[in-house]
A and B are shown apart, each in its own frame.
Chain A
Amino acid sequence: MIVTITLNGKKITEDVAPDLPLLDFVRNHGCKSAKRGCDSANCGLCTVFCDDKPILSCSFLAVRADGRKITTLEGLQKEAAEFGAFIADQGAEQCGFCNPGMIMNAIALFRENPDPSDEEIKAYLAGNLCRCSGYEGQMRGIKAFIAHRKAKEVNDATGQ
C-alpha cells in the first residue's frame, strides 16, 4: 500500500507491506534510535511520536501512519541533547540501550506537564523499562533538568 508519512519533517511516499510495524519503517529510514527491546509492547524502547503523542512503534502499523507526522529522537536532537546531558551527568544508565525511548517519553512528559511532581514523573515514565538501573539516577537527572530549566526561566525573565 502506498503511504505518505512525514518522518522528522521529511515527507516520504513509499509502498509498504500492510503488516510492517512503524518501528521497522523508521529504522529502514535510518532512525535507529527506536529499538525492539521486548516485542511485547512493554518496554518503551520503540517510543516515537505520532502527531506529537508518544506511542509504541512496535505495535503500530506503518499503514496507519499514512498522512501523519512521525517524530523520532533523530528529529529532536536539540531537546534530546539538552535533557540527555542531565541523565549522563548522573551516570544513570550502564548500557544506554533504553535511553532513546526514555528521552522520547520524558520529552512528551515535559511538553504535557512542564513541572511534574515525583509521582507524576514515575507514573508517566512507568512504561520505560531499564534493566541496568533502579531508576534512581534517571530520577535525579530529570529533577536536575527541571530545576535547571526553572532557573533559566527566572534568569531569562529578570534579564540575567
Chain B
Amino acid sequence: MLTIRKYVKAADLEEAWQLNQKKRNVILGGMLWLRMCNRSIDTAIDLSALGLDKIEESETEFSIGCMCTLRDIELHEGLYAYSGAVRAAVKDIVGVQMRNLATVGGSLYGRYGFSDPLTAFLGLESEVELYKGGRIPLKEYLHMPYDNDILVRVIVKKQDLQCAFECVRNARTDFSVLNVAVTHAGGRHFAVVGARPMKAFLVEDEQNLLAEPTDENKRAFAEYVAETVPTGSNLRGSAAYRRHLARVLTLRALDRIGGQD
C-alpha cells in the first residue's frame, strides 16, 4: 500500500529539487507504477504547475517536458512525422486512460525493464535534461544510479535518422515480451533491445556488417544482436525465446527502415 503524508505542488524547480533531497520524498510522475509500490512517502512533489507538459518543436529538435503524457507523445504530429518509433512504442500500452496519466519523465526516470518508451527514445539518440546535471545522452543516463536530480525534459535532436520500433506482446495491452528499436543514422546502425526483461541494452554495428544492407548482411546483424544481448526468463517468456525474438524483431525493424514493409 502507498501512503502519502503531505502533497506539495512545487512553485519552481528549485523548490522541487530541495524537497527531493530527502529520501522519503518523491517526485510524482503519472503515479501508475508508484501506486503499485508498498511505500510510505513523506512528501509527494508534483511538477504539474511548472508548464512542463508541452512538446516544443524547433528546426533542430523536439523538447518534450517531463510531465507530457504518453498520449501527448503518441498524438504529436511533428514527432510522428520525424519518426514513427515513439507512437509505435506507446500505442498499445494498457489503454488511452492510462496513457493520459503516465508521464514521459516518469517512464524515463524509472529506466524500467519493461519500458517501451525507453527503447524508442534510445533509438532516437535522445538526450535528457536534468535540473542540476544538465543535458546528457539518454544512453548515459540509462546506467546512472537513481539520484535526487530532476529529469526536466527529453530532447530529440532532428538528424538524418531512420528508426523503427518492433515488439511482441502476449496480449495486446500487456507488457512487451521483448521490444527492439533499430536505428540508421549518419551511416551507422545500432539496435536497442528492451524488456529483455531487464532494461534496454544497446548493440552497435561495430563490425559494420550493414555497410551494404543486403538480406544476407541484415541476417548477420540480426544474428549478432541476438548473440550479444543478454536475456532473462520470467512469466512472459524464457531467455531462449527472447533471444529468438531479438533476431526476428531486429530483422523486421531493419526491413522497415530499409523501406520494406
Contact = CB atoms under 8 A, between A and B. Distances in A.
B105 interface: no
B46 A105 contact: no
Contacts, number: 77
A40 B28 CA distance: 17
B32 interface: yes
A41 B173 contact: no
Contact of A124 (B3, B4, B28, B96): B96
Given A19-B4, A64-B46, A59 B31 contact: yes
A6 B7 CA distance: 20
Interface stretch (B87-95, B147-155, B207-215): B87-95
* Residue of B6, B28, B31 ringed by the most chain A CB atoms within 10 A: B31
B261 to A, nearest CB: 17
A52 to B, nearest CB: 11
Contacts of A80: none
B172 A55 contact: no
Interface residues of B, number: 28
A18 interface: yes
Nearest to B95: A127
A105 B95 CA distance: 10
B254 interface: no
* Chief secondary structure at chain B's binding surface: mixed
B13 interface: no
Interface in A33-92: 40-42, 44, 47, 50, 53-56, 58-61, 63-64
B100 A54 contact: yes
A41 B6 contact: no
Interface string B1-37: 0111111000000000000000000001011100110
A1 B7 contact: yes
Given A44-B95, A105-B95, 18 more contacts: A18-B4, A18-B7, A19-B41, A19-B44, A40-B36, A41-B98, A47-B97, A55-B97, A56-B32, A59-B31, A60-B31, A61-B7, A105-B96, A108-B96, A125-B95, A126-B173, A127-B96, A127-B97
